[in-house]
Structure 1
Amino acid sequence: MNKITIFLKDKKLLEKNSFQEVLKSYFERRGVIYEDKNINYQKTNEIKTEYCLIVREEGDKNTTEDVIFTSSNTNKEGRNTAIGQAFSPFLNTLDSFKFVSSRCKLYFYDFNTFSADVVKFDFSCIEFLFLNGFSFKNICFLGNSSWKLKGYKNVDYNSINGINFFIEEKDKLSKRNKANQGTYFELIDSDLFFTANLSSANFGSTILYFFVISKLYTNMVKVDYFFNKHTTLKHWEKFKDIIRKISNNIDFVEELQDVELIREENFEKLNEELKRRTYIYHRNLYDKFGPKKCFLCSWDVPDLIVGSHIKRFADIKNDSYLSDEQKREEVVDRDNGFWLCVLHDKLFENGFIYVDVNKDRFELSEKKIAEFSNVVLLEEKIYSTMSSSWNKEISKQYMTDKTREYCTAHFKRTQI
């Protein structure tokens, strides 16, 4: 009989009936009789989670190394434990173990109970496959698993454009489920910014996202985090300790550089600061409105959606009534803007569209349109950019007092 070695994190797992059930299901799937006496169990620090087992079978002619990822030891109701917090160390395990994917199969045991989180798991699995050279034929299911990969069967992994593919898929995931809108990252002029969501339910999946990014993007990643009532400095320090073990190319941006927005003596430093503030502004809009989608026409092509300031950067910069600190705050204020497509951004910036603060809705500017000789043609062309479902109303959750102040200033600048 071939020599079989099972690598695991902790030999105490051998005492669990669920562990034996996983192995019986695995050997049954392979058509091999499970006999404990013929198996050598070896504890290793290379395995980072108890939910992962690696089975090495050494024969006369070839050696196989199969990987089992199991949810059987988790609380069935606590899907975040297996999907979010166990999967990232599982990936880290595979990265450390240096297995050969061509001679290895990946077995999932008992994942049908996690249907509510299948979208997030689909996404995680796809990135795992892409990074480690797996194909769909390498995937097997054990126990009661009925989970299936959705929507990726025709993906050509050889043509995937690394980090861009990952960002696009994360954006799609965020649009499908608001619960997946926690962590935010964006490429701005070839610089990658990453803002972590460190609340308990998102902590594990955030590490997973960073793990994938560190493999796809080899340059420096600028990292900060969302500060909210669920996140403390303790979470942030723990997160930093973990990702330092994953990558050395990290720039922790905990405080903004102290650069005056009204001075340009050090252009390089100022340019870096403005880029940083652009990202923070986008991150804040994301926190308020969700993924990039034009507020007016609902167009959602990320590369053609911009963070459109209500009070423009130039107006903030030249506002003599504001202190430097107030200027910094207004530039990144989530209440000072909307996601707009590039066309509606220009129409809004130039006053062809404005916000009526008495009605909390967008309106076309009769004044601006009247400035053109062919009024009817211009009005028709502007209307032609708007779908029948064009969103004019601004709900109370978005029309804050601060937003109303900015819109009043925009009206004075463009309509009076």
Structure 2
Amino acid sequence: MEKNFSKITIQVPKEFIAKNDILKSIVELINYDFKQLANIKFEDVIWEQINERFQGFFIKELSYFVYITQKLDSKTLKTRSRNTFIKQNALPFIRNYEKHFKNFHNVKLFMSLNPVSFSLIKNKNDKFTIAESIYIDLKILISLYGFVITKSIINFANINEKYEEKWSNLNLETFIALKREKSNVKKRNKPIIFELSQNREEITVYAKLEGANVADSYFNCKFIQELNSKEQKNFKLFLFIIKPKVQDVHILKDFQDIGFNIINYYSDENDFDKATYQLNLRPKSNRNQGLFRANIIKKYNKYVDIYECFACEYRLNLVAAHIHRVADINKLKTHSKFITSAENGFQFCPNHDKEFENGMIYFDLDDFQFKVNSIKIDNPNDYNLLNKRIKNKLSKFKKELYSNNFKFMIEFHLRRIGLID
């Protein structure tokens, strides 16, 4: 039988302690979410301050550490963003849990609706709907930390009763495929990009570690590490920070502690030797695809869907391709910086990679788009077939993407395939 309490102590972060409206909303929330506290009144609560910033509170008598979601929009009572509703404030909460509460006897983690939003939506007897990506966030946090989702979220967010089963069959491969699929909603400027290479036995995450994306990247990476360990894959894990260069050692340590090799090295003129030595990366290679691809992502992510070939819409087995070949660069030692430079790279599907390599297609600097090489392809039917497959994706971004180094690399390719002297 559950014990009912007449007095309780609730610890809250310092930014809550002087705000009676928030404290009263917390009491209303716990009355609803925890039946053994249903009769607790505001005057029955002893409030204590925690001198750290996080979104949540700790109920001493029950050892309940409660995380609260982002506020709903006060006018529409809908989620402000599918990317931030669950995750935005979760990382500071987890850090506080691991620092102060993890070793407490029988501490349980709960997730509740933001108390201010709860008061509003309860009074209006309204409901809101959460996006599919929020279900995935719930799955990740439940799996990683054992969160219990309370009634305030389940009842007012129209969550299916089987939400815990929704993604129960996720494995490493299906999770990464799912994250890539869900990111299709945002075609350009993706904040986090996932790649799994079965051949190299590597998982690479490319991320912008800024704002809410720090928490998003961390929890996704931690879930990947958990699946990697659970399935005994032992894949090598890499995190390329594509923006900005992170100075906060605590953020870097968070990712290192979960087994990721961090490449906090995002200039498109990367010194490959320095990066590999400093960060203890994979064995030295002139074709370091991870670093090269990170630079391509950094340059092009804002303008194209980075999960697609630059010359068409194919999405599988994409290759980071050199414009000026590495074999030719090696003959000119002064050009070594272009081995991993984005100014010397495109991303292709396997077909367009070979067609570009063999000079069947080329990049026209004037029109700033890929074209079929009529010198190589003189059969009209073949020419039309190849031309039909090419999509014009880059021409409207000529001003942003054009550079002297890019022109320099393209001219090497045009010269090699015989289109210029």
Same fold, TM-score > 0.5, yes or no: yes
- Higher mean alpha-carbon deviation, 194-203 vs 279-288, is at 194-203
Give the drift of 1:197: 3.0
Where do 5+ consecutive residues of structure 1 fail to align? 59-63, 262-268
**Conserved? CA contact 2:13–2:55, under 8 Å:** no
Name the CA distance, whole Å, in 1 between partners of 2:282 and 2:54.
47
Name the CA distance, whole Å, in 2 between partners of 1:111 and 1:336.
50
Name the CA distance, whole Å, in 2 between partners of 1:333 and 1:257.
10
1:27 aligned to 2:39?
no
2:201 aligned residue: 190
Give the drift of 1:240: 2.6
1:258 aligned to 2:273?
yes
Alignment of structure 1 residues 170-319 onto 2, 5 Å: 170-172=179-181, 174-177=183-186, 181-188=190-197, 189-200=200-211, 202-218=213-229, 221-223=237-239, 225-226=241-242, 228=244, 231=245, 235-243=247-255, 246-247=257-258, 249-253=259-263, 258=273, 272-274=283-285, 277-290=288-301, 291-299=306-314, 301=315, 303-317=316-330
2:167 aligned to 154, 157, 160, which one? 157
2:397 aligned residue: 395
Q: CA 1:160/1:206 → structure 2, altered by over 3 Å: closer, same or farther?
A: closer
**Conserved? CA contact 1:173–1:180, under 8 Å:** no
1:89 aligned to 2:92?
yes
2:113 aligned to 108, 111, 115, which one? 108
1:2 aligned residue: 3
Q: CA 1:56/1:3 → structure 2, altered by over 3 Å: closer, same or farther?
A: farther
1:406 aligned to 2:409?
yes
Deviations 1:340-392 (A, max 9, x none): 2222222222111112223322221121123xxxx2453354356x17x6558
**Conserved? CA contact 1:292–1:339, under 8 Å:** no
Deviations 1:184-215 (A, max 9, x none): 55444123344553445644444444443443
Where do 5+ consecutive residues of structure 2 fail to align? 121-127, 266-270
Give the drift of 1:313: 2.5
Name the CA distance, whole Å, in 2 between partners of 1:271 and 1:364.
37
**Conserved? CA contact 1:193–1:222, under 8 Å:** yes
Name the CA distance, whole Å, in 2 between partners of 1:56 and 1:288.
50
Give the drift of 1:311: 1.6
Q: CA 1:275/1:167 → structure 2, altered by over 3 Å: closer, same or farther?
A: farther
Percent identical among aligned pairs is: 19
**Conserved? CA contact 2:57–2:67, under 8 Å:** yes
1:69 aligned to 2:53?
no
Task: Output the amino acid matched with 1:181.
Answer: K
Aligned residues: 374
1:140 aligned to 151, 154, 166, which one? 151
Name the CA distance, whole Å, in 2 between partners of 1:344 and 1:408.
19
**Conserved? CA contact 1:9–1:49, under 8 Å:** no
Question: Normalising by structure 1, what TM-score?
Answer: 0.68
Name the CA distance, whole Å, in 2 between partners of 1:407 and 1:28.
65
Task: Output the amino acid matched with 2:3.
Answer: N
Task: Output the amino acid matched with 1:69.
Answer: I
1:333 aligned residue: 341
